[in-house]
């Protein structure tokens, strides 16, 4: 995947990349294919996985060697257009390329993306619409599963025996376990979006007021600038 370096601290060996899919990815010095400078705005190629960029290399550095060889007459003829292609990509960076799915902007799209692409993603930022879209359809799905469980238990006569609501408990328990990680991830990214550490989610462990504090954080508007967790999410007016 192609992307653009947002920030790289050479002393710490840590940085961020915005991919062509609109997501933000972290990377470290160990993820670089070559130990080259990565200033802000560098167009790179990388392998994405779990919110992290791996096997990162600069397109400019990749094309620099053929260009140098061309000056000595040893470069292959087809190497010439490569810098122009990289420049064209940088000029139009941010627009999804052909075949790349656009980032969802509807509530269901955010929910489905949370269960698939962002299932184990605790990096980057999540705007308010993404967070509440996920919460809305999470509740809807839970109610549907609960209804199916109650109907099944009634049909099986479980309420007339010691089995009680076994199907309902099993279905709802499975759903809660399956959606725990994506729900935690979108909450952590929502905290990042307002400039706070994801570790503040532990405030939810405070009896009575912990959940209320997280609710207040979730209602705060997006921080309208790039922060240490990435750029302003797509679709947010700055």
Q: What is the pLDDT of residues 209-220, one digit of tens each?
A: 999 999 999 999
- Tokens standing for residue 188: 């952590």
Q: Percent of the chain scored above 70 by pLDDT?
A: 79
- Tens-digit pLDDT profile for residues 134-159: 999 999 999 999 999 999 988 887 77
Residues 128-163, buried b or exposed e (16+ Cβ, 10 A)?
bbbbbbbbebbeeeeeebeeebbebbeeeebeeeee
Residue 189 has pLDDT above 60, yes or no: yes
What mean pLDDT comes out for the span 79-104? Answer: 42
pTM for this entry: 0.58
Topology at the third CATH level for domain 2-91? OB fold (Dihydrolipoamide Acetyltransferase, E2P) (2.40.50)
User: What whole-number distance in Å separates Cα of residue 130 and Cα of residue 201?
Assistant: 17
204's tokens? 């939810």
Domain ranges of the chain: 2-91, 107-219
* Predicted pLDDT of residue 76: 44
Instruction: List the single range of 57-61, 117-121, 221-225 with lowest mean pLDDT.
Output: 57-61
């Amino acid at each position: 995947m192609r992307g653009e370096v947002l920030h790289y601290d050479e002393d710490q060996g840590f940085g961020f990349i915005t991919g062509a899919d609109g997501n933000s990815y972290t990377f470290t010095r160990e993820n670089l294919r070559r130990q080259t400078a990565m200033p802000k705005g560098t167009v790179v190629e990388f392998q994405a996985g779990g919110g992290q960029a791996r096997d990162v290399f600069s397109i400019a550095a990749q094309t620099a060697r053929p260009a140098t060889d061309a000056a000595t007459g040893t470069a292959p003829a087809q190497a010439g257009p490569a810098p122009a292609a990289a420049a064209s990509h940088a000029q139009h960076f941010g627009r999804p390329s052909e075949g790349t799915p656009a980032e969802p902007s509807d509530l269901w799209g955010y929910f489905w993306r949370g269960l698939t692409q962002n299932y184990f993603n605790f990096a980057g930022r999540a705007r308010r619409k993404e967070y509440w879209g996920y919460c809305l359809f999470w509740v809807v799905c839970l109610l549907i599963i609960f209804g199916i469980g109650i109907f099944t238990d009634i049909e099986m006569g479980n309420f007339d025996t010691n089995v009680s609501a076994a199907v309902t408990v099993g279905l709802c328990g499975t759903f809660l376990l399956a959606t725990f990680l994506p729900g935690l991830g979108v909450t952590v990214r929502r905290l990042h979006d307002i400039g706070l550490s994801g570790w503040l989610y532990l405030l939810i462990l405070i009896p009575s007021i912990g959940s209320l504090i997280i609710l207040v954080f979730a209602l705060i508007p997006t921080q309208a600038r790039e922060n240490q967790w990435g750029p302003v999410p797509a679709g947010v007016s700055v």
